[in-house]
Chain A
Amino acid sequence: KQEVTQIPAALSVPEGENLVLNCSFTDSAIYNLQWFRQDPGKGLTSLLLIQSSQREQTSGRLNASLDKSSGRSTLYIAASQPGDSATYLCAVRPYNDYKLSFGAGTTVTVRA
Chain B
Amino acid sequence: NAGVTQTPKFQVLKTGQSMTLQCAQDMNHNSMYWYRQDPGMGLRLIYYSASEGTTDKGEVPNGYNVSRLNKREFSLRLESAAPSQTSVYFCASSLTGYEQYFGPGTRLTVT
Contact = CB atoms under 8 A, between A and B. Distances in A.
Interface of A: 31-32, 34, 36, 42-46, 49, 89, 91, 93, 98-100, 102-105
Interface of B: 4, 31, 33, 40, 42-45, 48, 50, 56, 58-59, 90, 92, 96-105
B100 A31 contact: no
25 contacts: A36-B102, A43-B4, A43-B90, A43-B103, A43-B105, A44-B43, A44-B92, A45-B102, A46-B101, A49-B98, A49-B99, A91-B43, A91-B100, A93-B97, A98-B31, A98-B50, A98-B96, A99-B45, A99-B48, A99-B59, A100-B33, A100-B45, A100-B100, A102-B43, A104-B42
A105 B33 contact: no
Given A98-B50, A99-B48, A99-B58, A46 B42 contact: no
Nearest to B94: A98
